[in-house]
Amino acid sequence: MYELGVVHRTVHRPARERVEAVAPFGVATLHEAMGRTGLMRPYLRPVYRGAALCGTAVTVLLQPGDNWMLHVAMEQVRPGDVLVAACTTECGDGFFGELLATSARARGAVGLVIDGGCRDVAELEAMDFPVFSRAVHAKGTVKATLGSVNVPVVCAGALVRPGDVVVADTDGVVVVPPERLDDVAGAARRREDAEEGKRRRLAAGELGIDMYGMRGPLDAAGLRYVD
């Protein structure tokens, strides 16, 4: 069960250089480098084209239709953090907009991931404040019900703990636990190096079924060519 009505002030953030080691890689690469794990559900989308982020999670547990805890969370934000907001039950209301983004940026936040709605999209794009949300919705919220800040949350199907590293781009959102950062960064680099070699071969006209040695298994599976 979620812990309600609490703000945990201590967040164990990994060293910035360790976070920056995964920043150059796309979400798809990091997901594959972790053994195809860590992804949030695909309904989370950037609210404007080109939005991307990488940072350490400050988690927020919201009540439906209530953004009180987002205001509370701002005090806990440090430079390089990503606000990661989940809700106690499904809700697409507009929890977040330009004014909260202004506050978050002043505290050093690099973006927001929210399993809920946001609004003021044109202003967010003009600010270049990255937001990944389940909905864009003008509906307002109240400030009346306690949630929590910096507790483990499940956001769009992924467990996020305070201090986890969150990376988001056009392909989605992925969560990298701090204890796996170094291994994942190394695996992601190896994947990208290998893909560059494959890219050159494919660009030269080589077929994937030959490059990946698929002809034998295809033949064994009974694939037939008919002229």
The tens digit of pLDDT for each residue in 70-108 reads 999 999 999 999 999 999 999 999 999 999 999 999 999
Judge contact between 69 and 60, C-beta under 8 A: yes
pLDDT reading at 1 higher than 70: no
pLDDT in tens, 175-220: 999 999 999 999 999 999 988 889 999 999 999 999 999 999 999 9
What is the number of alpha carbons within 13 Å of residue 168 lying toward its C-beta?
Answer: 33
**What band does 45 get if pLDDT is binned at 50, 70 and 90?**
very high
pLDDT reading at 53 higher than 70: yes
Number of other CB atoms surrounding residue 66 within 10 Å: 20
pLDDT of residue 2: 78
pTM over 0.85: yes
Phi-psi region of 39 (alpha: psi -120 to 50; beta: other; left: phi over 0): beta
pLDDT reading at 170 higher than 90: yes
Mean pLDDT value across residues 29-45? 97
pLDDT of residue 195: 87
pLDDT reading at 3 higher than 90: no
Average pLDDT, the chain: 97
Please, which residues bridge with residue 167 across strands? 54, 174
pLDDT reading at 57 higher than 70: yes
For the chain, the C-alpha Rg in angstroms (whole number) is 20
SS3 71: helix
